């Protein structure tokens, strides 16, 4: 096995030091469960194990605050708090899915990503139980997709369903670490589009794929639920060093997610939804060419000139410089919001409307 990159060695040493220090101070493990998915053959269970203060320590810290102050603090939910976490490395974890129980461990950043086979669950939404030493048991939602499903949706998040002005560093930092999550803007018509498409295909999977950090999953889940988006797994990534370098590639993460889903659900033809602010058109177009018959249509939300400037500094899509590179293998719909995309998708998918 190749020697790990210096970045992962430094990060692991730091995590071990923090882990030992916090445990000496009485901190204990806590499980954060994320929405998973699967087929009738497997279930992918996602989550993370963190270190947290014991309840009595937390209660003591909040003792001087009134009920109104605590409620106000909870409602504010400034995003930076999600990034102040201490991962619990190599913690034994037990996962129960239906009648099947498996044992695993959290990885070097505290994450759990386990595939459980032969679970015996029927298609639909189910609850799975995740347990770890010294932690309260948690229940995670898992969407099981039936073998007879032939339609599915994969959606980007940033600038596709939520306006975040990414990836300009200062604006992105403000939106992520400071701004109240309730002040973020929804992209008009996208939730309506997803609901109407899924109503025609009961039980079809809805997947959200983003280069955002797993730390933001609770915030994104609340945002999507509050604005009427269909429930579905969030396939995010972990910021920071890897075994091969100092930073992760967002494009590689999206590409890997698309190919993994295509392998796991070979009977599904996907509608891929993204925006033209960065690389979605190229990623989706390349994927459609590499996987003939896997993509039913591509829907691209066109950013306004001002959004384009915030995204990459010029008032036109970067795709303008790449158009004509090759013919698209599948229908491509373009509009500024979900309402316009829905009308086009209804035509190219033969849904009427």
Q: What does the longest C-alpha to C-alpha distance in the chain come to?
A: 64
- Which of 3, 2, 237, 217 is closest to 109 using CA atoms? 237
pLDDT of res. 67: 42
- Alpha-helical (H) ranges within the chain are 6-24, 55-61, 67-76, 169-173, 190-199, 217-226, 250-264, 280-290, 305-312, 338-348
| Residues of the chain where predicted confidence (pLDDT) is lower than 70 | 1-16, 18-20, 22-24, 26, 54-84, 164-184, 239-249, 304-328, 352-353
pLDDT in tens, 118-147: 999 999 999 999 999 889 999 999 999 999
Count Cβ neighbours within 10 Å for each residue of 53-72 and write b for 16 or more, e otherwise.
beeeeeeeeeeeeeeeeeee
- Which of 171, 175, 194, 177 is closest to 185 using CA atoms? 175
Q: What is the CATH number of domain 151-348?
A: 3.40.50.1000
Region at 26 (left for phi over 0; alpha for psi -120 to 50; beta for the rest): left
Domain ranges of the chain: 6-144, 151-348
pLDDT of res. 61: 34
Asked if 69 and 77 count as a contact pair (C-beta separation under 8 A), the reply is no
CB atoms under 10 Å from CB of 263, counted, come to 10
pLDDT of res. 64: 41
Instruction: Look up tokens 């999550």; give the residue.
Output: 181
Q: What is the pTM of this model?
A: 0.82
DSSP string, 83-136: G---B-TT-EEEEEETTEEEEEE--TTSEEEEEEE---PPSEEEEEEEEETTS-
pLDDT of res. 65: 39
pLDDT of res. 326: 45
DSSP string, 203-246: T--EEEEEEEEGGGHHHHHHHHHHTTPPP--EEEE--S--SS-S
- The structural architecture, per CATH, of the domain 6-144 is Sandwich (2.60)
Asked if 271 and 297 count as a contact pair (C-beta separation under 8 A), the reply is yes
């Amino acid at each position: 096995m190749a020697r790990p990159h210096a970045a992962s060695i430094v990060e692991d040493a730091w995590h071990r030091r923090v882990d030992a220090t916090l445990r000496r101070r009485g901190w204990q493990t806590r499980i954060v469960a994320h929405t998973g998915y699967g087929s009738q053959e497997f279930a992918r269970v996602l989550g993370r194990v963190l270190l947290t203060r014991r309840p009595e320590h937390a209660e003591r810290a909040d003792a001087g605050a009134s009920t109104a102050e605590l409620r106000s603090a909870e409602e504010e939910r400034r995003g930076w708090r999600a990034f102040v976490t201490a991962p619990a490395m190599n913690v034994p974890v037990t996962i129960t899915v239906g009648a099947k129980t498996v044992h695993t461990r959290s990885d070097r950043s505290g994450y759990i990503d386990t595939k459980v086979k032969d679970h015996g669950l029927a298609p639909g939404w189910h609850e799975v139980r995740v347990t770890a030493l010294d932690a309260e048991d948690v229940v995670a939602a898992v969407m099981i997709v039936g073998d007879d499903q032939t339609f599915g949706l994969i959606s980007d998040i940033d600038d596709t369903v939520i306006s975040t002005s990414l990836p300009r560093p200062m604006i992105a930092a403000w939106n992520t670490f400071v701004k109240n999550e309730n002040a973020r803007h929804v992209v008009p018509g996208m939730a309506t589009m997803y609901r109407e498409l899924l109503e025609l295909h009961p039980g079809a999977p809805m997947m959200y794929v983003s280069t955002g950090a797993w730390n933001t999953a609770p915030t994104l889940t609340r945002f999507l639920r509050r604005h009427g988006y269909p429930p579905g797994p969030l396939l995010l990534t972990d910021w920071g060093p890897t075994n091969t370098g100092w930073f992760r590639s967002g494009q590689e993460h999206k590409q890997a997610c698309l190919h993994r889903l295509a392998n796991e659900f070979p009977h599904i033809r996907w509608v891929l939804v993204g925006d033209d602010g960065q690389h979605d058109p190229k990623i989706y177009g390349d994927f459609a060419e590499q996987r003939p018959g896997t993509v039913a249509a591509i829907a691209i939300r066109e950013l306004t000139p001002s959004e384009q400037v915030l995204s990459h500094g010029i008032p036109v899509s970067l795709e303008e410089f790449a158009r004509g590179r090759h013919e698209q293998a599948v229908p491509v719909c373009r509009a500024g919001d979900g309402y316009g995309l829905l009308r086009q998708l209804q035509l190219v998918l033969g849904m009427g409307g």
